[in-house]
Structure 1
């Protein structure tokens, strides 16, 4: 149960209700974070705009890699909703269930390639200790990614941290897309 109750649908502005009704058609129900973000209509619309940019075909980081690092960010922030949704998105983007389940153990798993390891390491550094980022990290990233891709990956990591922290703090319930909750403990 979310720590902040949702409003009745008619209390949300029409454009938020439009999105919530569309979400119900797509997912079978309105997702808890949308009801929470909907309390801040301007921020909600801004967030949806950013998601549109991140999900464009021209964005420099593909959806599979974004979803993979998002699972790890969600695990580190204790956002079970985000682990659930991002594991689902990873599988939709042609990721495999074994890697989705092994994200918490990426350092010791042979399932991840060098580019994924560099991205996951960067995601952990930005999430856990941004002020003390290892100076060699950008060099390791450049072995696999262009400067535009690194910038895009970092923007995505920042966005996912905001989202995961918001959802975890307010107790957004998981939807049941892809249950990797047992993997969400910080290791």
Structure 2
């Protein structure tokens, strides 16, 4: 599987620094930063967006942010995003059973380990990731009851970021990065291609 386009033969030096950083952070030589070199403004703005994402230090905890990223990735059917966002999910305490419920292989209500906040955040992520966006008033009430205004903005921004990457990368035909073998991404990718 290849992207629709190849990276440019010459990549500006200042973008090579960002490519090096992404390789160092992920341990992979990722294709997206190289493709974005065709239009450096997009490469720079995407890098800034990625660097400023909520990371759980002073924001929502890492587990809930990871659950939201994973849920958004599946909701927008982006193999690359699923691959990137499911990588090392167990390091933040997400179990195989929880992953199965996010993939809709088992009913989320059968999983007793999700907190109320996590379930609400994942439902919110699903709603934001659909087109057209439709958020039931009952969900808005639950959000307001369980999250601060700051936390709601962080949730919405996190989901929007995943959606940004999904649309951009799918628009360029970027295949999965090859991180995860635990989510059966091969069949997930073929399911997307057939729909």
Q: What range is the shorter-chain TM-score in?
A: 0.7 to 0.9
Secondary structure of the corresponding residue to residue 103 of structure 2? helix
Partner of 2:39: 40
Deviations 1:75-120 (A, max 9, x none): 2222111111101153333433332343122634414221111011
72-81 vs 119-128, which deviates more?
72-81
CA deviations on 1:48-85 (whole Å, 9 max, x unpaired) are: 22222214555523332222122222222221111111
Match of 1:174 in 2: 176
What RMSD in Å do the two structures reach over aligned CA positions? 2.4
Could you say what secondary structure the match of 1:138 adopts?
helix
Partner of 2:3: 2
1:109/1:170 Cα in 2 relative to 1: closer, same or farther (>3 Å)? farther
Quote the offset at 1:28 in angstroms: 4.5
Which region of structure 1 is more displaced relative to structure 2, 131-140 or 95-104? Answer: 95-104
The number of aligned residues is: 184
In structure 1, list runs of 5 or more residues that go unmatched.
Answer: none
Give the match for residue 68 of structure 2.
Answer: 69
Summarize the alignment of residues 1-187 of structure 1 with structure 2, pairs less than 5 Å apart.
1-8=2-9, 11-56=10-55, 58-105=57-104, 107-110=108-111, 111-179=113-181, 180=183, 181=185, 182=187
Structure 2: give runs of 5+ residues left out of the alignment.
none
Quickly say closer, same or farther: Cα 1:146–1:80, change in 2 above 3 A: same
Question: How far apart, in 1, do the equivalents of 2:47 and 2:92 lie?
Answer: 20
After TM superposition, the structure 1 stretch with the greater mean CA deviation from structure 2, 84-93 or 12-21, is 84-93
Q: Residues 55 and 65 of structure 2 are in contact (CA less than 8 Å); yes or no, is this contact kept in structure 1?
A: no
The answer as to whether partners of 1:67 and 1:89 remain within 8 angstroms in 2 is no
* Cα distance, 1:156 vs structure 2: 1.0
